[in-house]
Structure 1
Amino acid sequence: MRGIAVSKNKPRKPQMHYGQDGSSAREAVRIRDQDRCANCRQSGDDVTLDTHHIVPRGQGGSDRLSNLILLCRRCHDAAHDEQMAPTVRFYSNGEMTDDEFSSYYQLMERLKELGFARFNDTEKCWYVPKADIAVLLEELIEG
């Protein structure tokens, strides 16, 4: 006898799924994360930002807004290689000598040229993804 399958589970609360209504959830994540990578803080004006599941769907993660963040492609790739790319924060404490500040400034300018550092105007500091440190050291040694 054919019947209708009835789920014995409790009905689920409606969720914002970006697979079903991609624009609304994705836009909500962009607004919440201020159109910046949640890791390295790069702006969506400068790089492509992807919506990333903190807990992957394949591991039981949901499409709820609380499980979604924006990541730039570099950080998103790092996240899926299980090497989340946290950042190192560089800033001046105001106690550097002129020579120290000059060296610091030159380093930050070089990092910017290489595309590794992003300056945060609000916090007055530079962010460098930790995943880039090894590549950065090679670039600085060669350059």
Structure 2
Amino acid sequence: MKKLPPVEKIYEAYSALSDNRVIMEENSAKVFSSDKSKEYTVTWNENIYSSNDNASYWQGYAGYPMIAVFMLQKKLSFDNSVAEFFKNINWKELNTKYKGKYSKAVDEIMEKLKNSGIDTDKIYKETENIFEELKNLDIQCKRSSLRPPKSK
């Protein structure tokens, strides 16, 4: 990958997986946003991937829909028990609250988890391991021919 996503996109991918918002097809997947107002399409042909989520389309890095697909395809390893901590999180609301500062959104979630007795160090370590795998992934990300969807 030429351009890496912010590590925080991995947490959003956890949510998509734990909420069952990824529908895999033969050479594509439909991924629904956390508030279910948008449907993204991830497509691939061998190691060339594209997605019409805003991050992939406008910023040129793998957004959370693409990362979730990589996880389901076992191109990235992940611990499903860690993903479950991110179930039912409205990322749209959090990212709006923090004006697109993804790290602040993750900090809020992790603080709540820590306060409820969850070992957040394990979660951070797992996420860092996935990020390292992502760095070494032999994938090419291309701009989708589909424009990002508007909210429903």
Q: TM-score range by the shorter chain?
A: under 0.3
Higher normalized contact order (CA 8 Å, seq sep 6+, divided by chain length): 2
More helix by share: 2
Which of structures 1 and 2 has the bigger CA Rg? Answer: 1
For normalisation by structure 1, the TM-score amounts to 0.25
